[in-house]
Each structure stands twice: as structure tokens, then as C-alpha cells.
Amino acid sequence: MEEVSYIFKLIVIGPSAVGKTSIINRFVHNTFSLKYQFTMGVDFLVKRVNLESGKIAKLTIWDIGGQERFDFLRRSFYMGTNGALLIFDLSREHTFIEIDKWLKDMWKEVAVDIPFILLGNKSDLIPQIGEIIDRNEILNYVKLQKAIYLDTSAKTGEKVETAFTQLTNQMIKNVIKKQ
């Protein structure tokens, strides 16, 4: 087995039922299930990522439950985080509105400036239901936060790999910048 060059902890956060676990399962196992099971507190998955440089990054992915009843636990899970995926549901506007609360909670607990990517999940539903969230609102928010934004679909796999790869590359840049 090849030597791991980087070890990162990344958190996947956002409101309940936006597809956080599905995004992670698509990335780690390349699977998707229509059965919804909420995450109680936190769950962990690990994946080794082969980088273009020939190096390997080991990602410990923390799937953090979105239910409000886990608020008191959630913040302790943020410690030691190297990067984050913040996810909302493109078919439910209130999940986008809640993203700012999630981001502020993360910044309260994470002392260092970590990279994050905002994901609008369930893009596969847009052809059937149309745009629910004003695209300009999303783009303005991303610009304000100086973040990257991607439409994703855990169901089809659209841009899921890209999200994790881009976040991994940003975390590596952070490591190099600190050396």
C-alpha cells in the first residue's frame, strides 16, 4: 500500500435531509439509496484519494447530523477540521436560507480559516420542478463568502467527485501556505 502524504478531517454539514449522507456515500462507495435515514449525531467514513501529483490524501469524512436536537453535540465535532462541505437542497428554499447559520456556527468553533465549498444538492430534480431558489441569490452569497459553489446530485453523481477533489486541493494549498 502506498504512503499517505496528507491526512485531512473534513466535515459535511447543513440542514436536515439535504442529502449529506447520500453525497458521502456516492463519493466513498459510489452508491445511492432512496431510503432516508437521519444521522444521529455524527458518522464517519474514510477514503483515500489519489492526487494528480501522484500523492495520496486520506480523508476522514465526518457526516454531521442536521437535526436541531443535535446542536449541542455538533459544535464539538468541528474541532480539528481541515475543510467543509456545506450542503443545501435545491428543491427546498428554506435549506438555502439556513446555510448562513451553519456557516456562522462553524466559524465560531473552528479557530483557523479553513476552506469550504457550498453545494446545492438534488440538481437532478430541477428539470421536473424548475428553479426554486433564485440563482442570483446563491451566486451573490458565494461571492460574499469568497467560496466555491457547485450544483450536485447524489443520485446521479453529478459533480460529487469534483466537490471532494476541489476541497482536497484547497486543503493541500492551506498546508503548503502554512509551511
Q: Per-residue pLDDT tens for 12-33?
A: 999 999 999 999 999 999 998 7
Please state, as a whole number, how many other Cβ atoms lie within 10 Å of the Cβ of residue 116: 24
Find where cell 446555510 sits.
99
Please indicate, yes or no, if residue 23 is contained in any of the structural domains.
yes
Please indicate, yes or no, if residue 69 is contained in any of the structural domains.
yes
- Of residues 88, 98, 118, the one with CA closest to residue 18: 88
Please indicate, yes or no, if residue 1 is contained in any of the structural domains.
no
How many folded domains does the chain comprise? Answer: 1
Please indicate, yes or no, if residue 154 is contained in any of the structural domains.
yes
Residue 162 is part of which domain span? Answer: 6-178
166 DSSP 8-state letter: H
The pLDDT tens digits for 110-120 are 877 899 999 99
**Residue 141, domain CATH:** 3.40.50.300
Please indicate, yes or no, if residue 48 is contained in any of the structural domains.
yes
**Percent share of the chain, pLDDT over 70:** 90
Mean pLDDT over the full length of the chain: 89
The pLDDT tens digits for 53-90 are 889 999 999 998 765 655 555 567 888 999 999 999 99
For residue 125, pLDDT over 60 is answered with yes
The verdict on pTM exceeding 0.85 is: yes
Question: What separation in angstroms does the CA of 74 have from each of 66, 102, 107?
Answer: 9, 10, 13
Please indicate, yes or no, if residue 156 is contained in any of the structural domains.
yes
Please indicate, yes or no, if residue 60 is contained in any of the structural domains.
yes
Please indicate, yes or no, if residue 165 is contained in any of the structural domains.
yes
